[in-house]
Amino acid sequence: MKLNDRKLKILQAIIHSYITSAEPVGSRAISKKYELGVSPATIRNEMADLEELGFLTQPYTSAGRIPSDKAYRLYVNGLLQRERKIMKEKEGMKKLLAQEIGEIEKLLQNSAKILSKITNYTSLAIAPQVKESKLKHIQLVPVDETKILVVIVTESGLVKNAILRVDNNLTTNHLNRISNFLNSKLKGHNIANLRNEIEDNLIKEMYKFKNTIDSIIPLVNQTLDSHKGDSLYSEGVTNIFDFPEYSDIEKAKAFLSFIENRDSVLDMLINTGFNDIEIRIGEENNYEEIKDCSLITATYRFNGKTIGKIGVIGPTRMEYSKVISVVRSLALVLSEIADGDKYKIYLK
């Protein structure tokens, strides 16, 4: 059986109707609302075919039809093929974000807020994974007699702090010398490899501060690990209550619990591919808890290099068209801001 033009149109109509109403769609409703020029009976026949082809399902014998994941997939692929117009929203987003001073974390949190506000779904955002970043600057700062603060700035714009306890009292001068030294040796290196770097080069040259330097690297690694969970931002989780598919409290709970568990969400986001835009529909998701959700993520880049992701999660009945364009636009804006040239935008 072939998926001819009329079937496609009918399927599209059903998807559209279901996305807006969340109710199973009947043949009469379709023939009324969408001008297809055929009678409900004809539509019924086509619908039976579409069901056989796996694009529609029926919750029970004589109810209307509901689009399957396969149908959404078809629909979405169609959307993707069409050249997406650059959103007008983009400028607005930039303005909203431009007000923000500070670091990338703040920027992402605001992005998430904007995303959930515009889409009315739940939004997610992850910061660059610090372990995959290159070191831009490292600085030791005295705090008091027994503590020094290690500040790490990555090329991706992250700033991380770690507190280090030391036995011997190091003067500001000492710390500056060590900082300078570490910088000259480590700048531009991948943070995940710090340990190796250090062992080969440093210890002999800075014999005097061997102990201090020795303890910095493990601490830094440890800190970066413990900060992993911080890099996730979500907003609008309670938007889920606006969708009738979550009026079942058990379902709402399952969804919210999933989102509340930062680790699994972080995993999920990292493990979806890093294409420009990634879409997981229903069963395409690897996590049991969200098999009836769709996830749309986009990657933002810096110097052409992937550094993080933003996304939206909601029921499979999602306003794909809108969400795809919003997520994509915002990711572009973020990339532009993250990239050096436009950095000014959000610093002034």
Of 65 and 301, nearer to DNA (C-beta) is 65
Distance CA 111, CA 330 (A): 8
What does 144 bind: a copy of itself, DNA, none (CB cut-off 5 to 8 Å by kind)? a copy of itself
**190 touching a copy of itself, by CB under 8 A:** no
Query: If DSSP codes are grouped into helix, strand and coil, which group holds residue 222?
Result: helix
Q: Is 17 in the site for DNA (CB under 7 A)?
A: no
CA distance 330 to 179: 37
Strand partners, 56: 67
241 counts as binding a copy of itself under rule CB under 8 A? yes
Among 256, 278, 284, 342, binds a copy of itself (CB under 8 A): 256
| Rounded CA separation 78/199 (Å) | 54
Residue 22, interface with a copy of itself (CB under 8 A)? no
Q: What is the DSSP string of 108-169?
A: HHHHHHHHHHHHSSEEEEEPPPGGGSBEEEEEEEEEETTEEEEEEEETTS-EEEEEEE-SS-
Residues in the chain: 348
Residue 103 or 199 with smaller CB distance to a copy of itself: 103
| Binding partner of residue 77 among DNA, a copy of itself, none, CB cut-off 5 to 8 Å per kind | none
Range list of H helices, 172-307: 172-186, 194-205, 210-226, 249-260, 262-271
Asked if 149 is part of the footprint of a copy of itself (rule: CB under 8 A), the reply reads yes
**How many residues sit in the footprint of a copy of itself (CB under 8 A)?**
44
Q: Is 20 in the site for DNA (CB under 7 A)?
A: no
In what order do the strands lie in the sheet containing 232-235?
A: 232-235, 122-126, 305-315, 293-302, 277-281
Q: How many residues bind DNA (CB under 7 A)?
A: 27
Stretch that binds DNA, among 27-35, 153-161, 218-226, 287-295 (CB under 7 A): 27-35
Structure tokens at 292: 């009836």
100 or 284: CB nearest a copy of itself: 100
Q: Is 176 helix (H, G, I), strand (E, B) or coil?
A: helix
41 contact choice in DNA, a copy of itself, none (CB below 5 to 8 Å, kind-dependent): DNA
State whether the Cα torsion 186-191-195-196 is positive or negative.
negative
* Residue number, 45 or 261, with CB nearest to DNA: 45
Burial of 219 (0-12, 13-18, 19+ CB in 10 A): middle
**In whole angstroms, how close is the CB of 141 to a copy of itself at the nearest point?**
5
**Site for a copy of itself, residues 156 to 185, rule: CB under 8 A:** 159, 161-163, 165, 172, 176, 180
Decide if 290 contacts 297 (C-beta within 8 A).
no
Q: Which of 12, 51, 134, 221 binds DNA (CB under 7 A)?
A: 51
Task: Give residue 167's Cα distance to chain centre.
Answer: 42
Among candidates 117, 126, 101, 98, which has minimal Cα distance to 326?
117
Q: Counting contacts by CB under 7 A, is residue 48 touching DNA?
A: yes
- Chain positions 62 to 91 lying near DNA, rule: CB under 7 A, are 62-65
Strand partners, 302: 305
Residues lying near DNA in the complex (CB under 7 A) are found at 6, 23-29, 37-42, 44-45, 47-48, 51, 58-65
Residues lying near a copy of itself in the complex (CB under 8 A) are found at 100-103, 106, 136-137, 139, 141-144, 147, 149, 151, 153, 159, 161-163, 165, 172, 176, 180, 219, 222-223, 226-227, 236-238, 241, 247, 249, 252-253, 256-257, 260, 343-344, 347-348
